[in-house]
């Protein structure tokens, strides 16, 4: 029988290169999938890896998808390094959109541009409040943060549906479940006229710098990581596990809420039942493919954004199912986990 046996010294080169290897395997398996669906692999791969970057407009659209993924994944990286498994960033994203959207709806034509800042702050606070529920139940009752955060995703989606179908529905919206379109003062400013790319790109890049410093150059970041890697050592050193719990979840929730507000007041421009786009779940893959490193997360988010756009193009141009986006995302994570398993362990035949 075969048995997994830990390697004495895993290859550092393979550990760094495993995301690339996982991507190559994903491309290979994806090509076989296109053949099975009766489509040309060349056409299919072009939708995913060429069309999203072929011109300036495509690149700006790529940033629209990548910005929320980067922000959410940065927060999740802090949680995961602290050994906290926040699986419900999607719900915190939705709450950020709801809270930011409420502030945006208060704008009038005479309101100053300052309200856009208030929209983002409200989004962050909304995401933090939703994550605080998870932290409170874990802290007081030792409830699993995995289950609590995941179940709260559905609560957030039901709350959004109630609002857009009920009290927040646009009376001039022909009975569609949507809020009013946010006025210009409450919208996130665009960087270049004629493109949807907005200052969320700058916010995401600034966040990458801040999180890089926080995780690698600050005492608080060191405490979080020690608590995740060696809880016993952290307790011996006097680090507070309770503080790490609240800090990690509040940072993660705040970043997801910020992403939700940016998306609602940016490219969406209103709240609809389609605010949940799966960014919170996809960001988990982004964080792990990026090795929980802020710089790696940027490249991982761009790749995941290509999958989003490629899936939409494959659906409209090749007639393939929309679920193909999720298939590619899942393939990438599965291949990465498989690569990591065989980098750290090897198969050995053991006779009975």
117 confidence band (pLDDT: 50, 70, 90):
very high
Q: Is the pLDDT of residue 125 over 70?
A: yes
User: Is residue 61 very low, low, confident or very high in pLDDT (cuts 50, 70, 90)?
Assistant: very high
HEC assignment per residue over 306-351: HHHHHHHHHHHHHCCCCCHHHHHHHHHHHHHHHHHHHHHEEEEECC
Which residue in 284, 224, 222 sits closest to 248, CA to CA?
Answer: 224
Q: What is the pLDDT of residue 51?
A: 93
pTM: 0.94
Helices of type H across the chain: 12-36, 41-49, 56-81, 89-104, 114-141, 145-165, 200-217, 219-229, 231-237, 241-263, 279-289, 294-318, 324-344
Query: Residue 1: its pLDDT value, please?
Result: 73
Give the pLDDT confidence score for residue 222 in this predicted structure: 87
pLDDT of 181 higher than 90? yes
* Position 352 pLDDT exceeds 80: no
- Do the bridges between strand 2-6 and strand 345-349 make them parallel or antiparallel, or are there none, so unpaired? antiparallel
Q: Can you tell me the mean pLDDT for 272-300?
A: 94
Cβ neighbour number for residue 175 with a 10 Å cutoff: 9
- Per-residue confidence (pLDDT) for residue 106, from 0 to 100: 95
Task: Between 220 and 145, name the one with better pLDDT.
Answer: 145
Chain segment 292-313, per-residue pLDDT in tens: 999 999 999 999 999 999 999 9
Going from the C-alpha of 286 to that of each of 74, 75, 304, 327, the distances in angstroms are 9, 11, 7, 15
What's the pLDDT score for residue 297?
97
Q: Is 3 helix (H, G, I), strand (E, B) or coil?
A: strand
Q: Is the pLDDT of residue 235 over 80?
A: no
Band of pLDDT at residue 7, cut at 50, 70 and 90 = confident
Burial 36-48 (b: 16+ CB within 10 A, else e): eeebebeebbbbb
Percent of all residues in the chain with a pLDDT value above 70, rounded to a whole number: 100
Q: How wide is the angle at C-alpha 67 spanned by C-alphas 198 and 16, nearest 5°?
A: 145
Residue 64 pLDDT > 80:
yes
Instruction: Report the pLDDT averaged over residues 317-344.
Output: 89
Backbone angles phi, psi at 218, to 5 degrees: -120, 155
Q: Which of 138, 61, 128 minimizes the C-alpha distance to 93?
A: 128
pLDDT at 4: 80
Confidence at residue 264, expressed as pLDDT on a 0 to 100 scale: 96
- Confidence (pLDDT) at 97: 98
Q: Give the Cβ contact number of residue 172 at 10 Å.
A: 7
Read off the pLDDT of each residue in 120-144 and give the average, rounded to a whole number.
96
Using 50, 70 and 90 to split pLDDT, how confident is the model at 275?
very high
């Amino acid at each position: 029988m075969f048995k997994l046996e830990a390697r004495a010294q895993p290859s550092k080169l393979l550990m760094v290169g495993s995301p690339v290897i996982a991507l190559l395997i994903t491309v290979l398996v994806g090509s076989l999938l296109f053949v099975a669906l009766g489509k040309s692999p060349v056409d299919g791969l072009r939708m995913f890896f060429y069309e999203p970057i072929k011109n300036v407009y495509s690149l700006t659209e790529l940033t629209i998808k990548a910005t929320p993924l980067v922000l959410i994944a940065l927060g999740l990286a802090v949680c995961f390094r602290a050994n906290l498994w926040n699986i419900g960033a999607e719900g915190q994203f939705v709450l950020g959109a709801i809270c930011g959207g409420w502030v945006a709806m208060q704008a009038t034509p005479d309101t100053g541009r300052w309200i856009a800042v208030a929209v983002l702050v409200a989004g962050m606070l909304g995401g933090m409040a939703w994550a605080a529920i998870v932290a409170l139940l874990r802290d007081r009752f030792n409830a699993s943060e995995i289950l609590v955060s995941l179940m709260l995703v559905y609560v957030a989606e039901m709350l959004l549906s109630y609002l857009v179908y009920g009290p927040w529905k646009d009376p001039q919206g022909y009975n569609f479940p949507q809020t009013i379109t946010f006025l210009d003062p409450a919208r996130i400013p665009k960087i270049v006229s004629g493109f949807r790319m907005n200052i969320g790109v700058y916010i995401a890049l600034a966040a990458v710098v801040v999180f890089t410093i926080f995780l690698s150059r600050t005492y608080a970041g060191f405490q979080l990581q020690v608590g995740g890697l060696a809880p016993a050592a952290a307790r011996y050193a006097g680090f507070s596990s309770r503080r790490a719990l609240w800090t990690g979840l509040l940072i993660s929730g705040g970043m997801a809420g910020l992403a939700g507000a940016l998306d609602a007041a940016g490219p969406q421009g209103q709240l609809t039942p389609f605010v949940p786009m799966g960014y919170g779940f996809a960001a988990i893959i982004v964080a792990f493919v990026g090795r929980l490193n802020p710089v790696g997360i940027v490249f991982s988010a761009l790749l995941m954004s290509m999958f989003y756009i490629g899936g939409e193009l494959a659906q409209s141009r090749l007639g393939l199912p929309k679920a193909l986006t999720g298939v590619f995302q899942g393939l990438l994570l599965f291949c990465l986990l498989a690569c990591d398993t065989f980098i750290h362990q090897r198969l050995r035949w053991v006779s009975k």
